[in-house]
């Protein structure tokens, strides 16, 4: 898969995840927020929480599920990025880290991708 194709697939997964969260009543407040430690895929407000959402799209589980790819090293990078986000955008909401797994075996051609939302993943 080319780099451009991979980016389009990732963007599609983030779009699906954002729509999924909005259907659950969340409001997307930021997308692809970048800092020197990495990127926050989605930042969403909902039910008293400010959710930092890592989106993982997979075409197969051959190398593990999307959530399994969010290892301790990745979690630490996300925590640091979230701290910097909160410094830049203070809030009274309770922070929470979520993972959304999107399983799309046919890539962009997948008719009904499976979405699994793991609230408070770490």
pTM score over 0.85:
yes
120 within 8 A of 96, measured Cβ to Cβ: yes
Predicted confidence (pLDDT) per residue in 37-79, tens digit: 999 999 999 999 999 999 999 998 887 787 888 999 999 999 9
What was the pLDDT predicted at 67?
82
């Amino acid at each position: 898969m080319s780099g451009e194709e991979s980016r389009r697939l990732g963007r599609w997964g983030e779009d699906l995840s954002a729509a999924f969260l909005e259907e659950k009543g969340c409001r997307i407040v930021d997308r692809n927020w970048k800092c020197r430690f990495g990127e926050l895929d989605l930042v969403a407000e909902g039910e008293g929480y400010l959710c930092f959402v890592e989106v993982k799209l997979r075409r197969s589980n051959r190398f593990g599920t999307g959530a399994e790819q969010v290892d301790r090293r990745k979690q630490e990078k996300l925590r640091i990025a979230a701290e910097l986000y909160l410094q830049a955008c203070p809030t009274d909401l309770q922070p929470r880290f979520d993972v959304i797994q999107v399983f799309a075996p046919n890539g962009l051609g997948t008719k009904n991708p499976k979405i699994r939302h793991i609230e408070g993943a770490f």
